[in-house]
Amino acid sequence: MAYLTYFAVTLLINTLIAVFLTAIGFGMGFAINLLFSNCIGFSICLFTAVAVRLTQPGLIRLLAVTLAIPTSSALGYVLARFIGNFSLPPSQSEAGMAILIGLVFGGIVSAFFYLRERNNKLQAEVQARELQRLEAEKGRIEAQLKMLQAQIEPHFLFNTLSNVSALIGADPGLAAKLLESLIVYLRASLARTRAGQGSLGDEVALLQAYLAILKIRLGARLDYAFDFAPELRSLPFPPMLLQPLVENAVVHGIEPKPEGGMIRVSAALSGGRLVLAVRDNGAGLKGNSGQGLGLVNVRARLESLYAGAARLQLSENAEGGMTALLEVPA
């Protein structure tokens, strides 16, 4: 289709040149003008196309096109004389027509390639600026992630170590179990941080280690379960999007409720989107507006990562507690 368009545009320009020359009384009539115009015009297009294909953008290409125009004009002129079976030598009118056609068409082709090279250069500059912007945005997102991890992990780490210290005298076995769970969590967290972009399976492994620690700390007051198909584990998933939702469910849902409760983390594919839910049957949304720092950071990261294509929604469950629903492109 592109070649047909190229041919049609060239034929149109050749015809317009022949009409123009005939209108000003130049040459030897419309048919002869059209013959010379097409032979010279298509020769110029063919030679310049070859020059463009064989050279890189820049000065070398412009030089190749500049040299191709007079060469192809001369060959096109010879071809037209051969097709028209004209006697030699050429008349002054015929030679003048060939020169004029070459100048007009050559000028058009030169202007086209100059403008195209300039446009390509401008596009390259725009792409370079966009790449710089994206790199800066990536750095900003990574900085936000580090800040979020710095806000979550020290608080969680100190509380856990404090529990270990308190349990050493009262229940050494439970203290050892808690310490082992903490080591598993820290290893998973470190691997997740270094990887940058991981999978849903990586995030779930981190959550399992996180909730195992909380289960030891809260005992019978906390139960948890994961509900998702094994094949979803390999789906790419950014770090630190689910953990703040689980932490929010623990802090605002389970801990304020004397008898505790259940946290269920689920994942499913729906219409090309990954739908994740963190449900609890704790205290609900009372006093929890969903504007905590962790949730604010999650919303900001979703906007940065998916530019409006992801959403986070909090809702109160009819049976008590709340659900944090997270949707991202799969």
* DSSP string covering 59-99: HHHHHHHHHHHHHHHHHHHHHHHHHHTPPSSPPHHHHHHHH
Per-residue model confidence (pLDDT) at position 17: 79
For the chain, how long is the longest CA-to-CA vector?
117
Of 80, 50, 42, give the one whose Cα is nearest residue 67: 50
* CATH 3.30.565.10 location in the chain: 171-329
Nearest-angstrom CA–CA distance, 162 and 159: 5
325's tokens: 């629903």
Pick the closest to residue 275 from 312, 250, 322, 244 (CA basis).
312
- Structure tokens given for 139: 């750095």
pLDDT value of residue 220: 92
CA atoms within 13 A on the CB side of 139: 6
191-238 pLDDT tens trace: 766 665 688 998 898 899 889 999 988 889 999 999 988 899 999 998
Low-confidence ranges of the chain (pLDDT < 50): none
Predicted pLDDT of residue 268? 94
Pairing of strands 322-329, 273-280: antiparallel
Q: Which helix (DSSP H) or strand (DSSP E) does residue 314 occupy?
A: strand 311-316
Kindly state the tokens that stand for 187. Answer: 């290893």
- Residue 59 has a pLDDT of 74
Other Cβ atoms closer than 10 A to 104: 18
- Give pLDDT, residue 27: 66
Q: Can you read off the two tokens belonging to residue 221?
A: 């007051």
Query: What is the residue-wise DSSP string for 238-269?
Result: -SSSSHHHHHHHIIIIITTSTT-EEEEEEEEE
Q: What is the pLDDT of residue 285?
A: 72
Neighbouring residues of 90: CB distance < 8 A, sequence distance ≥ 6: 81, 98
Domain 171-329 sits in CATH 3.10.180.10: no
This model's pTM is above 0.75: no
Pairing of strands 222-227, 261-270: parallel
Contact predicate 272/329, CB 8 Å:
yes
Segment holding 224, helix H or strand E: strand 222-227
